[in-house]
Amino acid sequence: MRKNLATKPEQATRGPADVYEEQFVPALFRQWGPVLCDAANIAPGQRVLDVACGTGALTVAVAARVSPGGAALGLDANPEMLAVARRKHAGIEWHAGRAESLPFADASFDSVVSQFGLMFFDDRVAALREMQRVLRPGGHLAVAVCDALERSPGYAALALLLERLFDKTVADAFRAPFVLGDAPALRALCATAGFPQASVSQRQGSARFASIDALVSTERACAWTLGGLLDDSQFERLRRESQSTFGPFVGAAGRVEFAMPALLITATKR
């Protein structure tokens, strides 16, 4: 997943990509690896590409499925993300590159997968066309995007809080990852990109944080959410106000959990 990361003072010793790996991956992304592997029918011996792999949450799940005899490759445009991926998962093949111009030969993969990256691509149609190009005939595509914001009640509440505390510009920037949460629009996008038979289905997932403070600190880790928009004093104000906003989502031991479904695109190359 291609991200624009912003470093905060308390993150200087770890680096922003490390913060992403330590906070965002367990809170949001790790749960989706098995889901996409199942959707793409990934099996031992296959060669599989993970587009916009980030620090490798999905790629690692793919690598476990293709063993023995297969190959999992991860591609991302962010060098910091790839540096963390290479350090933590040395046995996987990592590549720098953009989804809109994949550096691979035609028909070179049994499956292509991507989780929570499509909404950030500069040219979504070009990226899907590239995924189709590198798929072999009969190969499988599985791409996950965030469902609409209103179906993720905790994040919907946070967007409203941001608009009340700051302004609509900040709230709309936070809403950006949810812009593809429309199944008919996704089907139309896929048809334009050469996947007219693509299926789009909703899959249930959750956002899970150790506390309300952990949720807010996680959101400040990356510029694609709030890290590039709010200063330290604004984050402190957000932290205070979030205590009541997220009260309905707090359970045992102060943990926060709420629904965060995804829309899953699946297709087979003819």
The pLDDT-based confidence of 37 (bands split at 50, 70, 90) is: very high
- For residue 20, the Cα-to-chain-centroid distance in whole angstroms is 11
Residue 23: per-residue pLDDT = 85
Residue 13: per-residue pLDDT = 53
More confident residue, 12 or 59: 59
Read off the pLDDT of each residue in 177-204 and give the average, rounded to a whole number. Answer: 96
Lowest mean pLDDT, pick from 27-31, 157-161, 181-185, 189-193: 27-31
- Cα–Cα distance, 160 to 172 (Å, whole number): 10
Most confident of 82-91, 136-145, 210-219: 136-145
Q: What is the 3-state secondary structure (H, E, C) of the chain?
A: CCCCECCCHHHCCCCHHHHHHHHHHHHHHHHHHHHHHHHCCCCCCCEEEEECCCCCHHHHHHHHHHCCCCEEEEEECCHHHHHHHHHHCCCCEEEECCHHHCCCCCCCEEEEEEECCHHHCCCHHHHHHHHHHHEEEEEEEEEEEECCHHHCHHHHHHHHHHHHHCCHHHHHHHHHHHCCCCHHHHHHHHHHCCCCCCEEEEECCEEEECCHHHHHHHHCCECCCCCCCCCHHHHHHHHHHHHHHCHHHECHHHCEEEECCEEEEEEECC
What's the CATH number for 9-268? 3.40.50.150
**pLDDT over 80 at 226, yes or no:** no
pLDDT in tens, 109-136: 999 999 999 999 999 999 999 999 999 9
- Cα–Cα distance, 236 to 129 (Å, whole number): 43
- Enumerate the domain spans of the chain: 9-268
Q: Are strands 262-268 and 206-209 parallel, antiparallel or unpaired?
A: unpaired
**pLDDT over 50 at 8, yes or no:** no
Positive or negative torsion for Cα 246, 247, 249, 254: positive
Residue listed under structure tokens 């905790």: 154
Rg (CA), the chain: 18
pLDDT in tens, 73-114: 999 999 999 999 999 898 899 999 999 999 999 999 999 999
- For residue 233, the Cα-to-chain-centroid distance in whole angstroms is 28
More confident residue, 21 or 143: 143
- What does pTM read for this prediction? 0.91
Residue 17: per-residue pLDDT = 81
Q: Which of 73, 131, 79 is nearest to 101 (CA)?
A: 131
The pLDDT-based confidence of 222 (bands split at 50, 70, 90) is: low
Task: Judge contact between 249 and 154, C-beta under 8 A.
Answer: yes
The pLDDT-based confidence of 41 (bands split at 50, 70, 90) is: very high
Residue 65: per-residue pLDDT = 97
Averaged pLDDT of the chain: 91
**pLDDT over 70 at 4, yes or no:** no
